[in-house]
Chain A
């Protein structure tokens, strides 16, 4: 089965990103397809590579990046939500005149159309958030 995942909450805010990660991992391990993971609202904060949580704590950004690499996942960060929260890739940083970018490996910035497409293409859209 083909799943799409939507995450509306940042890492360490509550538990939504953790639950979404565990669900996505379990689905992939069962042989299901993840069409896309869409990070919306504060969920975009999962996609900055500048997070440095304590070493004995889970690093959600790293977990997502590693899962994306292993399974070739499409991790999409909503552009409007990202700009409000300072999540930039190299192109956006240049376009906005900022001195650097912070998007994490495996993530890309795109628009809401990607969420709509995921909802259409996937058999199930599962939403995690606050």
Chain B
């Protein structure tokens, strides 16, 4: 009965990702999309919170949105899996519900 959480806002602009991390339950999946992918960058101030969340949740980032923002593979935090739109569909189908943190 897991939830897929989508976060589409930059963690450096809004607190959507923080709210999501505070509410996500162990076993949930979190998908960073649109400006949300900026949080996946290594060395960012939000990185420690994401690294901590990885212990209980699986974290993904949408590849086309990373590429659109110039974040290349080597700059993505370890343990964050990159997916394409088909992968997004698979994650949505695989979870029991999808929660968008708008």
Contacts and interface: CB of A to CB of B under 8 A. Distances in A.
Interface of A: 1, 3, 8, 14-16, 19, 22-23, 25-27, 29-30, 32, 123-130
17 contacts: A1-B93, A8-B102, A15-B65, A16-B34, A19-B8, A22-B64, A26-B86, A27-B92, A30-B90, A32-B93, A123-B93, A124-B93, A124-B98, A125-B98, A126-B98, A128-B8, A129-B100
Given A16-B8, A19-B34, A26 B89 contact: yes
Interface string B1-45: 000001010000000000000000000000001110000000000
Given A1-B93, A19-B8, A19-B34, A126 B86 contact: no
The 8 closest A-B pairs by CB, nearest first: A26-B85, A127-B100, A15-B34, A22-B85, A27-B89, A26-B86, A1-B93, A26-B89
B93 A23 contact: no
- For chain B, the bracket of interface size reads 20 to 34
A129 B6 CA distance: 11
Most interface-central of A8, A25, A128, A129 (chain B CB within 10 A): A128
Given A32-B93, A127-B102, A129-B100, A26 B88 contact: yes
Contact of B100 (A15, A25, A29, A126): A126
Given A16-B8, A124-B93, A23 B85 contact: yes
Contacts, number: 53
B98 A29 contact: no
Nearest to B96: A124
B19 to A, nearest CB: 15
Contacts of A126: 6, 92, 98, 100
B89 A23 contact: yes
B65 to A, nearest CB: 8
A3 B92 contact: yes
Interface in B61-93: 62, 64-65, 84-86, 88-90, 92-93
